[in-house]
Structure 1
Amino acid sequence: MMAAPRYRQDVGDSRARAIAKVKIAAKQLGLDDATYRAMLSRITGQDSAAKCTEAQLGRVLDEMKAKGWKASKPAARSERSASSTRHAAKQAVSPLALKARAMWISLHQLGEVRDPSEAALEAFARRQLGVDRLQWAVPSQGAALIEALKAMAERAGWSQDTTGLAPDERLPVLKARLAELIAQREAGR
């Protein structure tokens, strides 16, 4: 009886590493299973990375890099444990995202938001906007998120009305209103 032919080790290892990279990239980009499989199908015609050739996997990785994923070298063992608790995805840094983050934290200080973390803001944005990552939101979606946060602030008693104020007066007035409301709530306890 003849033994089954073996794959060349270096080719199989290379493909296995490419599949692993695709899986890691999908996780770090926060792609859910349906989005991930739709992307695979669009790029390769396959619904699973295991069915893809190395060339197809390379095209998938190129697409993921275009979406913001950056391949990294494996960290040294001592660095791995320290970095494992860090949030792997990049924070959105657009002006709207920065404003959303500031409002999210302010709402936490008011006691309206239980979890002030970036992950909680991302989850809120995902529910409000239907986009997997805040950094992928287009400006109109970011504006909608700000409006949702303003509505939460208004319900909490933090007036967001800046009608009649000069642009350079708006932020100090909003901060003063927030501080006053927090102080009132502290005094009422």
Structure 2
Amino acid sequence: MPSTRQLGLLYVAKAKLGIADDDYRAMLSRVAGVESAKHLSDDGFAAVMAEFERLGFVSAKPRYSHRDGFASPSQLAFIKDLWRDYRGEDDEAGFRQWLERFHHVSDARFITVAKAQAVVTALKAMARRKRAA
């Protein structure tokens, strides 16, 4: 199931491209095999976004490229989603401070593959402790 943020992005893309509801639902069915955006898998969401981009949608979201030795764009997106879930809001400044203080990385784009695993583990543990409290 896509996050609220992902659903919002789908609706923004649909609106910016001027796609009618019937056409949108037909596209969901054709591209991802679902009747509603709420039933999209991660792969389905990626496929729908790729279709929107093919139709001309450009996201304002910062893009990270694949670089050898560094976390992939999907890993970085996962890390940011974990942070958002932990904080309950999109707190970029807080995320950067946390990365710098505990992982000695000034920005997400500098997270190595090995460091990404440690960051994910730490964020999951923080979320687990927060839920238990």
Q: TM-score, normalised by structure 1?
A: 0.31
- Structure number with higher relative contact order (C-alpha < 8 Å, ≥ 6 residues apart): 2
**Higher Rg:** 1
Please give the TM-score of this superposition, normalised by the length of structure 2.
0.43
